Amino acid sequence: MKKITKISLGLAILALFVVVLLPGAFAQKKAPESMMLKLEGAKLPPVPFSHPLHTEKAKIGCVECHHKDKNPREPEGCMPCHDLKNVKNGAIPIKDAYHKNCIDCHKESSAKGVKAPTACNDCHKKQ
């Protein structure tokens, strides 16, 4: 191979790395800012959930909630694993998973003086 071809091949590989691979290494699926959580067939009012409040203000890591994703920076929600009604592959039904995840932490946090909702109608708030 001529020297010049070697160099351009080198540059091509470098460019590929910068353009394709590097952004991938730092990519993070952007968390939705505010959402209303509502399960299929829900009877109570939907529950508001803010990512920025939890991840930025309260400084909670993604894995605290997205605990089983192969890549916690690109999570896919809870429903792929937590079923609406049944225990599936050891994963408790989604309502129980939410209640355990959300309420346990809110109780701990409130006990430490940072108030977070623990009563039914504080989360299932009538609009």
Q: Which residues contact ligand HEC by CB under 6 A? A: 28-29, 31-32, 37-39, 42-44, 46-49, 51, 53-55, 57-58, 60, 62, 64-69, 73, 75-82, 89-92, 95, 97-103, 105-106, 109, 114, 116-120, 122-124
Report H helices in 48-119: 51-52, 94-111
Q: Is there a contact between 17 and 26 (Cβ–Cβ < 8 Å)?
A: no
Nearer to ligand HEC (CB atom), residue 6 or residue 99: 99
Taking the C-alpha atoms of residue 60 and residue 89, their distance in angstroms, rounded to an integer, is 27
Instruction: Output the smallest distance, CB 72 to ligand HEC, in A.
Output: 7
Nearer to ligand HEC (CB atom), residue 12 or residue 27: 27
DSSP state of 47: E
Radius of gyration (Cα) for the chain, nearest Å?
22
Instruction: Output the smallest distance, CB 15 to ligand HEC, in A.
Output: 29
Taking the C-alpha atoms of residue 61 and residue 67, their distance in angstroms, rounded to an integer, is 10
Nearer to ligand HEC (CB atom), residue 10 or residue 77: 77
